[in-house]
Structure 1
Amino acid sequence: MKKFSLFTGSLTAGLSIAIGAFGAHAWKDYLRDINRLETFETAARYQMYGGIILLILGVWQMHISNKYLKTAGYLVFTGTLIFPGSLYLICITQNALWGAVAPIGGLAYISGMSLMAYATLKQT
């Protein structure tokens, strides 16, 4: 699981930089025209948060491995796909209905972070 967290965290964080730069430069005028620049920036920021959390989980799992951290990794990765992904889809499709999907990703993020907190309490 530590390899999964480290790999997906690195990939997710790197992609957030690339996608964020694309939005800030190549798509900036388009995103302003459709009034979605802030939405795009929020997506890139939360994608980076997910990547950093996954990297932290990977390093943590190098020292301690338990089922809570493993499940937390999957939940954070799921949140990293769904939350920013739905915001990116709003920008790409100009369909605000994708916003109804975002809370699922947010719940996955929160659940993963809660499991990380629980794993800390269970740590001996």
Structure 2
Amino acid sequence: MKHFWSFIGALMLASGVALGAYGAHGLHNVVTVQRSIDAFEYAVLYQLISGLGFFAIAWGLNHFREGLVNLAGLCLLIGSLGFSVSLYLLVLIEWRPFPLITPISGGFMIAAWVIFALASLTSHPRRSIF
């Protein structure tokens, strides 16, 4: 499963860089409202941060309780995709089928890191530099 989370992290980072480039070079031709441009930039930022977070999840599998770390990874995946994709859809095609998806997804991201913190506190590390 460690390789899965690294794979997801790499995909999130690659697509985040691509979307960030689009935001910097092409978005202004499609969107003129500054608030929408800001929302797109936040979506990219959180996607990139989450992409790095998946590498922390992969690392945590070698050091902490696997079940909790995988649960944290699942929450991060649900949260980061829900958060960023909901904002991309809102900005690019003005589609928001479920208005609460963005804040609920943010809650999933927060839960992911709380679960990861619990995994670190309740585990006997197998190998750790900390």
Check whether TM > 0.5: yes
Which residues of 2 match residues 23-38 of structure 1 at below 5 A?
23-31=23-31, 33-35=32-34, 36-38=36-38
The residue type equivalent to 2:106 in the other structure is G
Q: Does residue 82 of structure 2 align to residue 79 of structure 1?
A: no
Which consecutive residues of structure 1, in runs of 5 or more, have no partner in the other structure? none
Give 1:95 shift.
4.0
Give 1:23 shift.
1.3
Secondary structure, aligned partner of 1:116: helix
- What's the CA shift string for 1:8-46, capped at 9, x where partnerless? 011101110001101110112322x13311010000000
The residue type equivalent to 1:78 in the other structure is I
CA distance in 1, matches of 2:93, 2:30: 12
CA distance in 2, matches of 1:118, 1:72: 10
Secondary structure, aligned partner of 2:62: helix
1:5 equivalent in structure 2: 5
CA distance in 2, matches of 1:115, 1:48: 20
CA distance in 1, matches of 2:71, 2:25: 37
1:110 equivalent in structure 2: 110
The residue type equivalent to 1:44 in the other structure is V
Secondary structure, aligned partner of 2:110: helix
How many residues of Structure 1 are paired with residues of Structure 2 in the alignment?
Answer: 123
CA distance in 1, matches of 2:56, 2:99: 28
* Aligned CA-pair RMSD: 1.6
Give 1:99 shift.
4.2
1:54 equivalent in structure 2: 54
* TM-score normalised by L of structure 2: 0.86
For the 8 Å contact 1:13–1:47, the answer to whether it is kept is: yes
CA distance in 2, matches of 1:80, 1:98: 16
CA distance in 2, matches of 1:13, 1:4: 14
CA distance in 2, matches of 1:92, 1:29: 11
1:66 equivalent in structure 2: 66
Which consecutive residues of structure 2, in runs of 5 or more, have no partner in the other structure? 125-130
